[in-house]
């Protein structure tokens, strides 16, 4: 995460123009640990087209409650403050990349309609 991103709060980040993938996780969670390398690869593939942030659901219970995170890992894709997609569990990189690309395209098409 860039230092520029760290200066912004969560709400400012998810309301930005750039899509944001939020990974709600817990330190003790095995499947959450599996998501780490997947998200790193995703960032390499998508580069500056997306922000990826990780939020410890136990240290940030208000955020977890607000977004109805009932299990970890939970991934939520935001664009301009809107939730485009949300899913609990491990998602493989090819599927994750496809979902993100599709949901952003659908959002942008709806905005032009």
Catalytic residue among 26, 29, 93, 99: 29
Angle of helix 30-46 relative to helix 93-112, nearest 10 degrees, comes to 60
Contact 51, 13 (CB under 8 A): yes
- Token pair recorded at residue 73: 């890992």
Distance of CA 47 to the CA centre of its chain: 14
Q: Is 29 a catalytic residue?
A: yes
Catalytic residue among 13, 20, 22, 32: 32
Q: Is 32 a catalytic residue?
A: yes
Q: Which residues are catalytic?
A: 29, 32
């Amino acid at each position: 995460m860039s230092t520029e991103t760290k200066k912004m709060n969560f709400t400012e980040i998810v309301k930005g123009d750039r899509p944001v993938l939020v990974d709600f996780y817990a330190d003790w969670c095995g499947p959450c640990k599996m998501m780490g390398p997947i998200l790193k690869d995703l960032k390499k593939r998508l580069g500056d087209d997306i922000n990826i942030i990780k939020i410890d659901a136990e240290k940030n219970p208000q955020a977890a409650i607000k977004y109805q995170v009932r299990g970890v890992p939970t991934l939520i894709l935001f664009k301009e403050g809107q939730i485009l997609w949300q899913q609990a569990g491990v998602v493989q990189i090819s599927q994750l990349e496809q979902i993100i690309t599709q949901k952003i395209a659908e959002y942008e098409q709806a905005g032009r309609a």
